[in-house]
């Protein structure tokens, strides 16, 4: 493994985060147009359960992965 490989992975992660952000923005626009709440606590809970499980299956620290997701998801709610 090389630093160049890590750079490619980091770039891919950023591309996916940007894509996720675009999808969230579109979903929120739809919710605003429909007059429904932006936040869906049940959906957020499902997301965190899923990412924790996926992290554990991959031998990653579920707490750390959840923290990353909470940071990214939460920034839109500020």
pLDDT tens sequence across 40-60: 899 999 999 999 999 999 999
Label residues 31-54 b or e (16+ Cβ within 10 Å = b). Answer: eeeeeeeeeeeeeeeeebeebbee
Confidence bin at 19 (pLDDT 50/70/90) = very high
């Amino acid at each position: 493994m090389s630093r160049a490989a890590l750079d490619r992975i980091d770039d891919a992660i950023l591309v996916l985060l940007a894509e996720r952000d675009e999808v969230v923005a579109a979903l929120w626009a739809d919710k605003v147009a429909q007059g429904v709440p932006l936040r869906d606590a049940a959906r957020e809970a499902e997301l965190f359960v899923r990412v924790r499980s996926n992290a554990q299956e991959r031998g990653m620290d579920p707490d750390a992965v959840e923290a990353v997701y909470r940071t990214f998801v939460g920034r839109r709610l500020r």
